[in-house]
Structure 1
Amino acid sequence: MALLWSERKHTDGSVARVGDETLRVALARAAAAHLPEWADVLTPHVLRHFCTSRLYQQGMDLIAIQQLLGHAWIATTMKYMHVTGTHIEDAWAAGQQHAATRLEGLRR
């Protein structure tokens, strides 16, 4: 069973858009079946926070996340992001490693 359908086909062959409530119910069923300890707290809103944070932590561009979520303002997207306390240090260390690797390639 698909979790996030964009349309539903009826037995008469007609097609209708899936509404918000259908998505909430499907998410609740999936959480109850696969993540029972999260069944009461996993909502579409919580899922947006989690996905936004994880995509950003994995290196996805903030503007791309904004477009993915359909936000008009980057500030709205940033409200959904939660970063670790060491985010700045981790980004700095990764940047230094990237620069060192590029410099090493120039020496050859």
Structure 2
Amino acid sequence: MDTEGPCRALANAVVRHLPAWAGRLTPHVLRHYCASQLYQAGVDILQIQELLGRPWLATTMRYVHAHGTLVEDAVMRGQQRAAKRWEGLIR
């Protein structure tokens, strides 16, 4: 069994495999990354909240960092859905 603890094990693995991240890649950073990747993949924010074990949605939202045009793309999809609903009603 590993007696050095998970944080030390992660730090050692980072030094060996990702030296540019040494001293910067922590379990906390990985939580942010995981939450952001899940959100970007379309996982519902409430499911991410449950996965992180956070009691408040506002706290969960601080873990999620939207990348690129994620917000703009969501707005565009909403506009496209609305336009589709109007098809056939306006002539």
Q: Which runs of 5+ in 2 are unaligned?
A: 85-91
| TM-score, normalising length: structure 1 | 0.64
Q: Give 1:71's aligned residue.
A: 54
Does structure 1 residue 60 correspond to structure 2 residue 43? yes
Question: In the aligned structure 2, how far is the partner of 1:38 from the partner of 1:60?
Answer: 27
RMSD value over aligned CA atoms? 2.7
Does structure 1 residue 42 correspond to structure 2 residue 22? no
| TM-score, normalising length: structure 2 | 0.74
Equivalent residue letter for 1:27: L
Identity, in percent, stands at 55
Q: Which has the higher contact order (CA 8 A, sep 6+)?
A: 2
Equivalent residue letter for 1:48: R
Question: In the aligned structure 2, how far is the partner of 1:47 from the partner of 1:94?
Answer: 29
Q: Give 1:83's aligned residue.
A: 66
Q: What secondary structure sits across from 1:53 in the alignment? A: helix
Aligned length: 83
More strand by share: 1
Equivalent residue letter for 1:59: G
More helix by share: 2
Shift of 1:94: 4.2
